[in-house]
Structure 1
Amino acid sequence: MKDSITADEFTAQEGVADWRVADDVASARFHTGSFATGVDLVVAIGRDADDANHHPDVDLRYDHVDVALTSHDVGGLSRRDAQLARAISRAARTLGAKADPDREEEES
């Protein structure tokens, strides 16, 4: 089974509604409401990423966490990205963080 997937295949996956795709990168913003909750989310992301041996880019801010996923070895998105996206979204929900899939790209 090939690991690489298209943007359409990524967005068709179950459990990735929090994520959007541009330029072969899946990204999501999770509003945490506090820095402490953001840190907890980053810790959960780190644990899930290490378990998957697949590591996203993570940006922790006072009230939100931005996450970007891509697979450099396939030059774009992979099934691993979809699996990790689902795990990250699950962790965010568990912590009460709210996804913002409709945010504007230039916001930080």
Structure 2
Amino acid sequence: MEKLTEDQVAERLKAHAQWSEMNGAIQRTFQHKDFVAAMAFVNKIAEMAEEKQHHPDILIRYNKVTLTLSTHDAGGITDKDFDFADAADGVR
């Protein structure tokens, strides 16, 4: 998987309004009704990450979960990260 250029990342982010680029990764914070709902979301993300063999960095702050995605093998952001972002956006 090839690392995307800055222009490619900027273009892809136009279709991912809730995601932003930060230090060579894409990131989004999901807010849930409470801690239990946030943890249920994290468990679904963990299952999906195992299936896809692509593991985000996960930060949990009570009812907020921040996912940070980067393809370490490629040294930055790839299509694989945006594909995972699309899938994460669909997790309920």
TM normalised by structure 2 equals 0.86
Tell me the distance in 2 between the aligned counterparts of 1:79 and 1:12: 12
Shift of residue 66 of structure 1? 0.7
Tell me the distance in 1 between the aligned counterparts of 2:56 and 2:6: 17
Any stretches of 5+ residues in structure 1 without a counterpart?
95-108
Show the counterpart of 2:16: 16
Tell me the distance in 1 between the aligned counterparts of 2:57 and 2:26: 11
RMSD (Å) for aligned C-alpha atoms = 1.7
The letter of the residue matching 1:73 is D
Verify: 1:70 aligned to 2:70, yes or no: yes
Tell me the distance in 1 between the aligned counterparts of 2:46 and 2:17: 21
Residues 55-90 of structure 1: per-residue CA shift (max 9 Å, x gap):
000011212001101111111101110000111111
Tell me the distance in 1 between the aligned counterparts of 2:19 and 2:50: 20
User: Counterpart of 2:72 in 1: which secondary structure?
Assistant: coil
Tell me the distance in 1 between the aligned counterparts of 2:52 and 2:24: 20
Shift of residue 3 of structure 1? 2.7
Percent identity of paired positions between Structure 1 and Structure 2: 26
- Pick closer, same or farther for the CA change 1:8–1:19 going to 2, 3 Å: farther
Shift of residue 15 of structure 1? 5.0
The letter of the residue matching 1:10 is V
Q: Is the 8 A contact 1:56 1:68 kept in 2?
A: yes
The letter of the residue matching 2:11 is A
